Amino acid sequence: MTSLLILNGPNLNLLGTRQPEVYGATTLAEIEADCAAHAKTRGISITFEQSNHEGALVDLIHDARGTHQGIILNAGAYTHTSVALLDAIQSVEIPVIEVHLSNIHAREAFRKKSFIAPVAVGQICGLGAIGYTLAIDAIFDHLGKKSASGA
Ligand code: DQA
């Protein structure tokens, strides 16, 4: 069975109460439940994780090797700063879809830069919590195409 890691970075544990006007009112637990239900309809299993620590996120990406076929990553603020996460993604060679609840391109200038984007299959941002389930569909489609091409 296809298995996905859905990985969330710093401050995303506070979703629901953290700047709801920017990030919405949905909690991370609700996003996890939506992802689990959506993945089930696709016959996919998910592991949902959150950490406020950059090194812990790097470790979780490393540990995905051999276990997960794809990663959905909302790296939070580390998106804009972390060469370590970029290197980790490149090292494990697992396809990554980058997700953001807010539209990072319509906010402060420093949020337009993503260290994840150059090594991601694609980016979904600005659509709120639905971005995670769209990312499940996107990675499902990507993995199907990869196996169809024998890659
Ligand atoms: C975020 C956008 C980032 O700029 C911010 O630092 C976050 C959340 C989002 O989901 O919109 O923590 O990744």
With beta carbons less than 8 A apart as the criterion, state whether 56 and 62 touch: no
Relative to beta strand 70-74, strand 3-8 is: parallel
Write the DSSP symbol of residue 149.
T
132 counts as catalytic? no
> Which atom in ligand 1 lies closest to the alpha carbon of residue 107?
4
Which residues are registered as beta bridge partners of 70?
A: 4
Ligand 1 mutation pick, 28, 85, 101, 116, max ligand atoms within 8 A of CB: 101
Element (H, E) at 29: helix 28-41
> Which atom in ligand 1 lies closest to the alpha carbon of residue 77?
6
**Nearest CA owner, ligand 1 atom 1:** 76
User: What's the pLDDT tens digit per position in 52-91?
Assistant: 999 999 999 999 999 999 999 999 999 999 999 999 999 9
Q: How far apart are CA 123 and CA 103, in angstroms?
A: 11
- pTM summary value: 0.96
Ligand 1 cavity residues, CB under 6 Å = 11, 74, 76-77, 79, 100-102, 104, 111
- Is a pLDDT exceeding 80 seen at residue 150? no
Q: How far apart are CA 78 and CA 84, in angstroms?
A: 9
